[in-house]
Amino acid sequence: MIRPRLRDDRGQAFPIYVVVVAGLLFAALAFFAVGQASVVRSDAQGAADAAALAAARDARDHLVPGVDLLTLKPEDWKKVLEGGLLYAGGACGAARDFAAKNDATATCDPDPPRFKVEVKTAGTVGDSVVPGVSGQHGIADATAVIEPRCQLSAPVANPSPSPGGQDKPVSVEITCKGGGVIKFDPAKSEPWSTLARTLFAVRLVD
């Protein structure tokens, strides 16, 4: 009588074992799907951050077409140092290029000095046992801002005209945060993109 009862007990335990194993497998698959979704979201956020920074840096590195540092007057230099003469015409193109490098597409909303970018990853979560997750793309946004770091050290007098009647190029002294001083000499001027990286900071904001 005892042996048949043991066999019956084992027979009754087998369905429970199957249910437990199936539950564990489902939980493992669900955990894997959540992990995949997290990776896709992380990829999207990384692409958004890079694209927003690229947009802001492109604007920082370009002046409005036609602006010549050698002909700027002191009041114009103030506009430059405040970011008023930066050119954002290529910013969204730079954002899209960086997003593409991260296997994503980007939409750009420039509002200088702020540049907001939203990206969508080309890759998806893939098939998933979690409802509503299968095939989802990663979507994220980021905003970068250009911040002025420098100002004219002191008012600079307008230059006197040259004998030919044209204004002489202006030399200016610029003081930056941290105590750095830049002396812009028209005769030894650096490319704007090089100078801009000292004059302005670019960072991500919430």
pLDDT tens digits for the chain (206 residues)? 445 555 555 556 656 655 665 555 555 555 455 555 566 788 889 999 999 999 999 999 999 999 988 888 888 999 999 999 999 999 999 999 999 998 899 999 999 999 999 999 887 755 444 455 556 788 999 999 999 999 998 655 555 555 555 566 778 899 999 888 988 887 777 889 999 999 999 999 98
The answer to whether 115 and 95 have CB atoms below 8 angstroms apart is yes
**In the prediction, which pLDDT does 178 show?**
85
The answer to whether 44 and 104 have CB atoms below 8 angstroms apart is yes
* Per-domain boundaries in the chain: 2-205
| Cα separation, 183 vs 96, whole angstroms | 36
**In the prediction, which pLDDT does 75 show?**
85
| Cα separation, 205 vs 145, whole angstroms | 7
